[in-house]
Structure 1
Amino acid sequence: MTLRIVLPVLMAGATAVPAGAPAGTEQVWPPSSDLVIRSITLNPGAPVVGPTGSVHLVIEVVARGVAGSAGMTVQVDPGAPPGPLEGARPEAQLGPVSRPGPAPQTGPISVSPFVASIVPPRAARPVGPAWPASGEWEVWRFEPDKKLSRWYPAGPWAVAATARGVDGGTVTRYAGFQLRRDTKFSSVQALRKGTGVEVRGVLNRVDPQGYLDYAPFSGQTVEILHREEGQERWTKSAEATTDDQGHFLRTVTGHRDDEWRARFMETERYATGRSRVHKAARQ
């Protein structure tokens, strides 16, 4: 999944630092009217890390009026960018944990540009409001020197792109993403019980303490989904809550056949998880 954020044009004469900008953010005003950051694209837009391996993040910035090959810089930091992130769901307070593995990574990730290319204005001009007609849009691509892994903080991250113009003025724009840890189901069953079907299983998450690859995920809501055999559309039939060991159980009446699965909806720190499809079986 790629996350693309289109930003408004900042015209000459602007004098205010963006609302909520972090203390210490460099802003030189007024910038040149030709200095514009049009968009910031993150790929993947919703990174999910597992117990092993890492995620390679690519950042693409489309801008105009940038002075030279060193005129664009990008910084990636844990924490929310100015303004709320749409779609974020509150996460239960898990408290501090000790980690037997590598020490948690903190602070910003250094970023270096690895491609800067020119895009013809017509190809880059968006549909909608009028945009400056002069100059050319430049596509700047960046990749962090370090890849994202389970040892980086889960939750919101901020991307700050700063462009410097030929007159020394700068424009800084922000994007954000949620770094989530993987979740998975195990031991899921759908068993006929009387006039209904009992769905049970275990919800797991990447172990936040680092002792295991996956650990039980307690106190979470699991959705029980049902669909008629041969159909594509799933319907949420019920919900269940996981216990201290990640176990959940729910009996849904009114159905005795068809197909079943469990789903966990993403939170600020953990990704959506779906079980395999199970046909209702006799116990």
Structure 2
Amino acid sequence: MLATLTAVVTLAWPVVPAHASEPELAIRSINLRPEAPVVRATGSVRLVIDVVAKGAHGTRGVTVLVEPGRPPAGARPLTPGVPVRPAQPVKPPAQPAQPAEPAQPAEPAQPAEPAQPAEPAQPALPAEPAEPAEIGDAETAQPPVQPPVQPPVVVPAIAAGTGTLVRPPVGFHRFRLAETGWETWRFNPEVGLSRWYPSGVWTIRATAVDQEGNEVKAYTTFNLRRETTLEGVSVSEKKRVRVSGTLRRLDPYGLVGHRPFAKQRLLIKFREGEGEWRTVGSARTRKDGWFDQRVPKAGNGVYRVEFAPTTHYAGDLSPVRRPRRN
């Protein structure tokens, strides 16, 4: 398997005291491991997603959604070194209440007969400003407790958030970085991606929410590719060098393990000694995946065949072959 499960180390999460100033809400990066997942005939690829954010509040302050397809129209992809911040706050900060105007002292009454003037009324005291709401202790992030589920036949969304989005369940860990305010939220989907999921472009959407309800979203994409194999590659030499073999791909319909991969361009590479690999020719596969190409002699060295990755299929390299002399 190309993918390996990353062990998660939970670090101590210090409690934030009441009235602590919250950092500005932002998402700096979304990192995926493995960077280029490849599905094979058996097994699945387990993803590890790290979201670096600040200002998120509570154990659900950051959620992720992983689904096939490209980001929605108008979505801004993450640029390295440029954090994504909310355009405008959803809820403006509460303003303290304005103090009431003091009452004017009463005018002394005009007596009909000589008398002492009435005592002037005491001015009203200004109203006390409204006390800001108490900020409770920060919640300690814990993995959501949910029963394990079997891999579904259909393609579900992989998320951590509300109950409607969590399918299959996702566990996460949260820990601080050395830089002030930034935190890494690590998500470990319990269900991996297998050959039954669609290949091509997938999107990871990360959403961060602060204590006031402000929200910011960030997107990144990756390609989920199916395995390809170069089989039976042979190199022989007479007047010219003959390179032949078969290219096969993982069956996209799941009926058999691998099928011939037709009409694909291959590169024939040559290297002499410890030098660099250089292209000396190309070939195209037939309907049955077979290729057979002759190229000029390049010298005393070794050859190999290379299939470059596509949006849906992984690349492959043949074993190194020294020409057989007929």
1:227-269 Cα shifts (integer Å, max 9, x gaps): 11x2241111111110011001110113364201100000000
Instruction: Sort the Cα spacing of 1:104 and 1:264 in 2 relative to 1 into closer, same or farther, 3 A.
Output: farther
Residue 155 of structure 1 pairs with residue 200 of structure 2: yes
**Aligned runs of 1:29-44 on 2, under 5 Å?**
34-44=24-34
Stretches of structure 1 lacking an aligned partner (at least 5 in a row): 3-31, 86-101, 122-134
CA contact (8 A) 2:171 2:190 kept: no
Report the counterpart of residue 314 of structure 2 in structure 1. 271
Structure 2 match to 1:222: 266
The answer on whether the counterparts of 2:280 and 2:298 sit within 8 Å (CA) in structure 1 is no
Per the alignment, residue 110 of structure 2 pairs with: none
Which residue pairs with 2:71 in the alignment?
Answer: 81
Residue type of the alignment partner of 1:176: T
Offset, 1:209: 2.4
Aligned-partner SS, 2:213: coil
Q: Could you state the TM-score of these two structures normalised by the residue count of structure 2?
A: 0.64
What pairs up with 1:131-142 in 2 under 5 angstroms?
A: 136-142=181-187
- Taking the TM superposition and a 5 Å limit, the aligned residue runs for 1:16-95 are 34-82=24-72
Q: Which residue matches 2:251?
A: 207
Q: CA deviation at 1:109?
A: 2.1
Q: 2:173: which partner in 1?
A: 115
Distance across 2 between alignment mates of 1:236 and 1:105? 42
Q: TM-score by structure 1 length?
A: 0.74
Q: Does 1:165 align with 2:210?
A: yes
| Matches of 2:47 and 2:324, distance apart in 1 | 43
Bigger Rg, which one:
2
- 1:129 maps to none
Kindly provide the amino acid, as one letter, of the partner of residue 138 in structure 1.
E
How many residue pairs get aligned? The number is 223
User: Relative to total residues, which structure has the larger strand share, 1 or 2?
Assistant: 1
Q: Per-residue deviation at 1:60? A: 0.2
Tell me, yes or no, if the aligned pair for 1:204 and 1:246 is still in contact at 8 Å: yes
Runs of 4+ in 1 over 6 A off after TM superposition: none
1:105-134: per-residue Cα shift (whole Å, max 9, x none)?
Answer: 32412342421111221xxxxxxxxxxxxx
CA distance in 2, matches of 1:59, 1:272: 24
